[in-house]
Structure 1
């Protein structure tokens, strides 16, 4: 929590002294409209992630074992992933991205944010000394995810929808797969088949890229609706 507070203070200072703006240009101060965007983002990515897991179940013939719901663990996992997602979003899609958009333009800023987000996952996954193919895969998959979420921030003028995406994908995956400190919250994989060579490559590219592609399609559809026509964004 202290780390998150420090990031908020740094974000406020960066926006105030560099751009002469209030931190609310990040669309971070809660309101009914913004909370609805957070929930909508969460629901959209939940559906997309469940589809992705269903495809994996069919392709790999996965057998799942359901677990008794531990409500305390689920709540702790929710809070943990909310803090984690908010921290990363403030760093990669917060004040710094806002400043970069103003200084070098949206296209360059979004791509730079995406690349840095991808490289960051080399370290967070502990694969910095891994094989080139693995590094390239992680950079492409997480980098494209970072691109979609940065684009979401730029188009919606708020961190909330992207935060919903981020929270949802992390939490739902933690319900099915091993993860630290919370994993396999609701289900445990019992067995699956292996795929090799090109089949492995194509499957993992689909698994890694489909959620972000589907998210981008949904976002573009939403942007054509009235949902974001009156996005709150204080400029002072």
Structure 2
């Protein structure tokens, strides 16, 4: 949490030096509209994130069970980890530097720069550096997500939308289905996986529907929001 506080302090310093602004440019002050946006996009992201596991259960016959070692503190720690990691990343890629880029270069160029940096950052955070195919997939997927997150900020002038999308997706992946860097949390996959033969269409639909769906739906809803 100290890191987040330092980020906020540096963010304030950057925007103050740039145009004598303050942290209000990040849109962090809760309002009814911002909280509504947060709830809507949190639900959309969590629903699509969950759909990926539902498709694996339906098409690939995979299954998950309650982690026998789960505790409330284990779940709380996982949620807290995701809150911190999402805030950390959003303050970097949709925070003060992004605000300055928008003012200097315009929204379109700023969005492309932010999303490109977001995709490249995940080469390191997801350990894909050195594997060309993995790097390409990581860059395309996370870069596309970065586009939507940055678009959410530019349309609403607030971090609530990008945080909601990012957190909704990650918390389902990592805390609910234990698919991520923080280990086993609420549900764990039943192993070994069943040997099931599926068509290419079914395989790619299972892999692509959740991420493409969340990006398309979130981008559409963001577009419909009042600026």
TM-score above 0.5? yes
Q: Which runs of 5+ in 2 are unaligned?
A: none
Count of residues paired in the alignment: 224
1:112-123 equivalence runs, <5 A? 112-123=113-124
* Alignment root-mean-square deviation, CA: 2.6
Distance 1:177 1:76 in 2: 13
TM-superposition CA deviations, 1:140-179 (whole Å, max 9, x none): 0111111111111111211011101111111101121343
Distance 2:191 2:57 in 1: 11
Larger mean CA deviation between 32-41 and 2-11 belongs to 32-41
1:89-128 equivalence runs, <5 A? 89-128=90-129
**Length-normalised TM-score, structure 1:** 0.83
Cα 1:71–1:204, aligned 2, differ >3 Å: closer, same or farther? Answer: farther
Distance 1:63 1:173 in 2: 15
Cα 1:53–1:95, aligned 2, differ >3 Å: closer, same or farther? Answer: same
Q: Which runs of 5+ in 1 are unaligned?
A: 232-236
TM-superposition CA deviations, 1:13-67 (whole Å, max 9, x none): 1111113322111111233432332222211111111112212222322122223
Larger mean CA deviation between 57-66 and 44-53 belongs to 57-66
Cα 1:147–1:71, aligned 2, differ >3 Å: closer, same or farther? Answer: same
Distance 1:127 1:194 in 2: 27
**Length-normalised TM-score, structure 2:** 0.86
Contact 1:93 1:159 survives alignment (8 Å): yes
Matching of residue 16 in structure 1 with residue 16 in structure 2: yes
Contact 2:56 2:206 survives alignment (8 Å): no
Distance 1:195 1:93 in 2: 42
